[in-house]
Structure 1
């Protein structure tokens, strides 16, 4: 299936219409279908009206109940997969205001309990010093002080003991000289401090030894329900359980190459010292 970002929203309405048409052609009521699929009639109604995007497992249950198979079923499953994918481009986010994006992230974090971050090339806002946050927004026109404040405010969630966080950073993400040497050393010291928060596991993957993996993207996992994948121009929001499971499996493999605890902090201290020495020269 060709990926076309502009089709994602339309796919949701196409899916709703197709599901409604399929049921009516089978001569079944929403009540009958709801009972057969162990769903509420309201859920079936919301799926058919486009108010609710069904998970693939919901679509599979409905297709089975209505006896749909072959090419028709494959087409509906393809629509469902696309409908569960969202594209957020950077330009639209900037037009709306990046502070609004921070509000969206805060709501997502509030509704989730388990977080997994794989950081390939940069340090995420939850782990960033104020200097790093400001530098990450330096190319955005206008006053970004509100966005900086909200990014830093979101960091308080790391101290919520009802939530768990695992951060895996590559050595490249940690050591990329995004700030002047002294500021980078302070950023690495801050990572070491965050790694001591009880509900936070922070690990780094050193660029040494043999790593038979080739990660392509930074991604974040929210519980078992959603994955966000960063690209150079935006982010994919994936809700299909197969996509989320695939990224969870990737994360587990990358985690096996990471070092945590004291070993991690020793590396961070060593790398921070290198930045400090660079300043002296």
Structure 2
């Protein structure tokens, strides 16, 4: 972990913080409070999800199964606390003073941590949240020609004035297999923002997104498992 001086956000200036899951999960079993703290300081949150549905859009059962994969061997109490923390974070989606943008690949939409009914409910949840005025959801179909290469998901947080950070300051978070990375040096953050802009141009929105969700739903219903 970097030892450089921390900014007002609690994140070192000009640095990347590495929080290893093995240690973080011992200290804070599900880390939802930590992520919620950063989200609460942000006026805009931009999520690119390449492998699974973003946590802010997950149904309770989808989230439970994700946490079970992430921390196998956890108790029912741990899982319940993690799911409750994630659902508590989702209340921010109804705050009209804040904006949330999601870019989700078709691969993430198709990833199924349980039976077909679980994923059907999850796709319906995504369609429902897309109707909120402050929430934008773009989908990236397999059939769309690639415009860039991003090997993992990431989140960009534009911090608010009342977070005591400079207006326009942005941090990025990246989840890897071994650790959560928090990035706030301008050059690296700018690279993530450029990737975001490219992905956004290739995404389907509104009717295009609804058609893709409807096609995936029909495919699942036809499969019946």
Measured in 2, the distance between the counterparts of 1:209 and 1:155 equals: 30
In the TM superposition, what is the alpha-carbon distance from 1:178 to its structure 2 partner?
2.1
What TM-score results when the alignment is normalised by the length of structure 2?
A: 0.86
Q: Which has the higher strand share?
A: 2
CA positional deviation for 1:53 = 4.7
Query: 1:90 and 2:25 equivalent?
Result: no
SS at 1:98's partner residue? coil
Give the aligned partner of residue 177 of structure 2.
232
Partner of 1:242: 187
TM-aligned CA deviation for residue 116 of structure 1: 0.5
Q: Shift of residue 80 of structure 1?
A: 6.4
Superposition CA RMSD, Å: 1.9
Structure 2 unpaired stretches of 5+: 159-168
The answer to whether the Cα contact below 8 Å between 2:148 and 2:195 also exists between their aligned partners in 1 is no
How far the C-alpha of 1:93 sits from its partner, in A, is: 2.0
Task: Give secondary structure in 2 for the equivalent of 1:113.
Answer: strand
Q: Distance in 1 between matches of 2:173 and 2:36?
A: 14
Give the whole-Å Cα distance in 1 for the aligned partners of 2:13 and 2:133.
Answer: 39
| Alignment coverage as a number of residue pairs | 208
Report the equivalent of 1:258.
203
Q: Which runs of 5+ in 1 are unaligned?
A: 13-49, 55-78
Which has the larger share of helix? 1
**Separation in 1, partners of 2:90, 2:140:** 23
Q: Which protein has greater RCO, CA pairs closer than 8 Å, 6+ apart?
A: 2
Distance 1:157 1:89 in 2: 27
Match of 2:182, SS state, is strand
Q: Which residue number in structure 2 is paired with residue 124 of structure 1?
A: 54
Quote the residue 1:21 is aligned against: none
Aligned residue in 2 for 1:20: none
Contact 2:51 2:108 in 1 (8 A): yes
Number of the residue aligned with 1:277: 222
Shift of 1:88: 1.1
| Structure having the higher Rg | 1
